[in-house]
Copies of this chain bind each other. A is one copy, B any other.
Amino acid sequence: MPTLRRAVRYEQKQQRRQAILDVAWEMAQHQPHAAITMNDVADRAGLAKGTIYLYFRTKEELLLAVLEQQLRAWFDEVDVQLQQAQDSHAGSITHVAQIICASLEARPAMARLLAILHSVLEQNIELEAAVRFKQMLLKHLTRTGALLEACLSFLQPGQGAHVFLQAQALIIGLQHLADPSPIVRQALAEPGMDIFEVDFAREFATTFAALLYGIEAKGSNE
């Protein structure tokens, strides 16, 4: 329930906005996005349906904002870890892969949102929201990419961001493979199907490390 009756000042409005985001994030962690209704979000936030729309233009913008917040936190954490890795001269490929992998493993719901970013969250939004999100992504991609370059000396200037984008593709693809529908999960219980049972974190670590080794070996990624 909101503490304030009317959010008049900017700060109050931000608080309310955050309260809505918190509720949506809470829900996103426990159910697929299709099961999340704006009605539920409003109810759980102690607000009226229409009020949600004062803060987010569409359901997709709301969930995109949720993902944005999670991504920010994720990037920040990765940044700290990469910084530490660099300081301690522990910037090996495996270590870097482990850092990213571990941070992802701690955020399964974020990976799930990321997996529907293009097919759902970016579908029913305004230009403004799209630009904002992409600029956020760009900023972090650049910053974290730079840190990556600092950790992995074989990366050329500017290549870090690109590698991170490749990582993003990997996350999305592996998340899809690792999260089958109930009926498919059942099908995969048949003998011989083991290959399809993908452990997201493990697979990501392996594959991303291999990718980095490849870049290192070949000297270029273009």
Contact = CB atoms under 8 A, between A and B. Distances in A.
A173 B169 contact: yes
Contacts of A106: none
A209 interface: yes
Interface stretch (A13-21, A41-49, A72-80, A211-219): A211-219
A7 interface: no
A130 to B, nearest CB: 4
Interface string A105-147: 0000000000111110011011100110110011001000000
A148 interface: no
Nearest to A116: B119
B131 A190 contact: yes
Contacts of A216: 214, 217
A79 to B, nearest CB: 18
Interface residues of A, number: 59
Contact of A172 (B134, B172, B203): B172
A195 B162 contact: yes
A142 to B, nearest CB: 9
Interface in A34-52: none
A176 B180 contact: no
A221 B169 CA distance: 19
Contacts of A53: none
Contacts of A184: 118, 122, 130, 134
A122 B186 CA distance: 12
Given A131-B187, A162-B195, A173-B172, A181 B211 contact: no
Given A177-B168, A211-B207, A187 B119 contact: no
Contacts of A63: none
